[in-house]
Amino acid sequence: MPPRRDGNVVSWASVVDEATLAQAQRTARLPIVAGHVALMPDAHLGIGATVGSVIPTRGAIIPAAVGVDIGCGMVAAETALTSHDLPDDLGPLLDHISRHIPAGMGQGHGMRADVSPWAEFLTEHGLPSGTRLDTRQETTAAVQYGTLGSGNHFLEVCLDERDRVWVMLHSGSRGVGNQLAQRHIARAKGAMREALTTLEDPDLAYVVAGTAAFDAYVADVQWAQAYAAGNRQRMVAVALQLLGDAAGRHDLAPTLVVNCHHNYAAVEQHDGVEVWVTRKGAILARSGDLGIVPGSMGTRSYIVRGKGNPLAYHSSAHGAGRAMSRRAARKRYRPDDLAAAMAGRTWLADKAGKLVDELPAAYKDIDQVMADSADLVEIVHELSQVLNYKGT
């Protein structure tokens, strides 16, 4: 759909409420915003900044716009397997995944027998340089490396339109990313108060280039983004090994891997000007870029190729986007509703009561999101889940 311009907000969302638009307008009125705020088709209300927004800023970054799950994103790995290579019963594979890839709030690898992936990450990236971690936080970072998390984080085995098997998952920087983000959000708010800077929303507090707070935040956000990408890469490697074992292909290797952030900040050039671009629930979609737009439990997901739309700052939607809050979904729907949506798939059916706020009706229609994204991306592959694993 052609975008709609409303003041300094340009929106591709055909379904969006007034509160979300008002929130985006508050962000767009900040003096640090360099241009317009772009709203993606999946836009919905967030904390401070809108989920599904792209925010260009000059000389400053808004930590709460990046969010508390720094570097959260998707990875999808294509294989040469087809549905005929999969076992008739995927239950044992789901059990193996749940044992080897911990999921849920605060969950990690316990005493961590498998330390080599974390050691390799430390060798390449070290620990955050903007904020000193205490011993407990260092332990959290180690034991949660290669773990899924909770909420809408998931791991799926999918089939595409050619009957090819994919592994796809959604996760971020886990507890350590949250702790780093919370610390910098609090510091930014404190700095705004000390400078007597008035904001329409305190969660829009920003750190200014040239200050120690800015340098510390940039260092930590870049580290957390690397942690999130490595975390996803580690999990997909484990999942591919388990999938290969289940299919009798112990040397299974991916034929394509796409790994993309959708909560992050980076320096980019737009209209010949260097700016910080924060994508809060949006993916990079330059011309030719491959990305992932997941649906919700029981719906399709998509591998996409960017069209490089300059009005969207070369961005696109990051998923279906919530249509109602988790609390509202739990009040309105029952476990049987989720079970009906997940019919024919292997999933944690015994945890339906804890997952009911993740049913498709709690999210926007992914088909409408993709229709709204027509001038942002093109669809390369359509994925349908056959196995779904989520933390509770």
Q: Among all residues, which ones are annotated catalytic? A: 318
Burial of 205 (0-12, 13-18, 19+ CB in 10 A): buried
SS3 content of the chain, % helix, strand, coil (to 5): 35, 25, 35
Residue appearing with tokens 């300059």? 310
Distance CA 76, CA 263 (A): 17
And the tokens for 42?
């999946």
Cβ(321)–Cβ(263) below 8 Å? no
And the tokens for 52?
């599904």
Cβ(77)–Cβ(156) below 8 Å? no
Cβ(10)–Cβ(311) below 8 Å? yes
